[in-house]
Amino acid sequence: MSYTQLTREERYVIAHLKMFKLSLREIARRLGRPNSTRSSEIKRNVTASTRWVYWYDDAHPRALERRTRARHHRRRDNGALYEYVAQRLRARWSPECIAGRLALDYPAQPAMRVSPEAILTLDRPRCESRRTALPLPVPCPQAPAQAAPLRQPARIDPRTRVHSRAPRRGG
């Protein structure tokens, strides 16, 4: 089943079924939608100014406004984030390493977060030429090799008789 946005009519149904105090699951079942869709809709569109009541006629314009507001501009306009990512891409870090390291280097700054997928599609500022494009990333550097595992004793052919086997060493 492909995802579709909630319509004004579905928001109307949610509001009225909520007034009848139906459970989240029952409302989702009647809409033919996952339960998470209905609960997310309520969380996003119930505000303190409406006294925690879900109003479909307020929710629909709010949802349309959220849909038209681009989120990628926050990443593109954050110069520090762009420079951090660009510097690591030039050093041939993978997007997974960069995203993980951002969380360690900037633990208290949610604006300095980006997913590995977004790093690959990062909307770069306009460049004068194609030559300024960032290099493609490579996989994360591997951790240092562990010590070699203990050597297993050689297997002895079970058909060899005991008295004809080689003597044990160090035993």
**What Cα–Cα distance (Å) separates residue 36 from each residue in 43, 72, 165?**
10, 24, 68
- 83-108 pLDDT, tens digit each: 898 899 888 888 899 999 998 999 88
What whole-number distance in Å separates Cα of residue 47 and Cα of residue 17? 18
Judged by average pLDDT, the poorest of 46-50, 78-82, 163-167 is 46-50
Report residue 166's pLDDT band, with 50, 70 and 90 as the boundaries.
confident
CB-based burial, 32-46: b 16+ in 10 Å, e otherwise: ebeeebbeebbeebb
**For the whole model, what pTM was predicted?**
0.41
